[in-house]
Amino acid sequence: MANLLDVKNVTKRFGGVVANNDVSFSIETGQITGLIGPNGAGKSTMFNMISNVFQPTVGEIWFEGKRTDLLPTFKMARLGISRTFQNIQVFKNMSVLENVMIGLHSRTSVGMIAAAFRMPKTKKEESFMYEKAIEYLSFVGLHEMADTVAGSLPLGKLRLLELARALATEPKLLLLDEIAAGLNHQETAEMGKLIQSIRNHNITILVVEHDMDLVMSICDKVIVLDQGEKIAEGTPKEVQNNERVIEAYLGTSDEEEVSV
């Protein structure tokens, strides 16, 4: 199976603080990969480098054979990389439908002048955006709330809305940042099924997540960071039985299996 993303010997320093130290791993096309670790492990920093919010101090990040860490952040969606945020970022005064239509703008070609004068091409693309936005809302189960003001949605629905907007860019790689944060048990289980369904639509997924039950149930591969370094990589079962992982989470080297 071909690699979609390659992180090569990446180090990130913030002044004298080393957030990631010489980290390398690959994400294979068609897989769900989990990135986990204790608090302060460097997960969020790595996630932000992959999505090009930060640039590595040392090392390189490659996507589909192209180096991406030197590119402007705004080019990531057109390359095929989209993300959600742990702290939900939606336009609260806009409708659910309008939020998803914003995600579709990266796929349109109408310029400002054409839009201002409501030229025929503009109307055609607006119709396309509307239909596609409804399609993505239907996929996540929010189509009946299309006209609802986003700011009135409960947390679980907001997570689904942000997911629909990310999917609207038609990503090849979807980055999910704590997608289950704040969800109850039932909502988390439903989110897990939805993530697996997304993978079945030929979208590769990287999940940064604290909910270990979710990670272990949906991921094909799990990468573990601790204090900025990669300490383990493998299947969920292999990671659960890895002594370095057990020590990182529990501070013990006992040989019993733990649910990390």
**Residue length of the chain:** 260
Through-space distance between the first and last CA atoms of the chain, rounded to whole angstroms: 27
Q: Which CATH architecture has domain 1-80+171-260?
A: 3-Layer(aba) Sandwich (3.40)
Instruction: Indicate the burial class of 39 (C-beta count within 10 angstroms; 0-12, 13-18, 19 or more).
Output: exposed
Written as tens digits, the pLDDT of the chain (260 aa) is 689 999 999 999 999 999 999 999 999 999 999 999 998 999 999 999 999 999 999 999 999 999 999 998 888 988 999 999 888 888 999 999 999 998 887 665 544 444 444 555 667 778 888 999 999 999 999 999 999 999 999 999 999 999 999 999 999 999 999 999 999 999 999 999 999 999 999 999 999 999 999 999 999 999 999 999 999 999 999 999 999 999 988 764 444 444 45
Contact 226, 247 (CB under 8 A): no
Q: At what angle do helices 185-199 and 155-167 cross, to 10 degrees?
A: 10
Give the global pTM: 0.88
Q: Where are the domains of the chain?
A: 1-80+171-260, 90-170
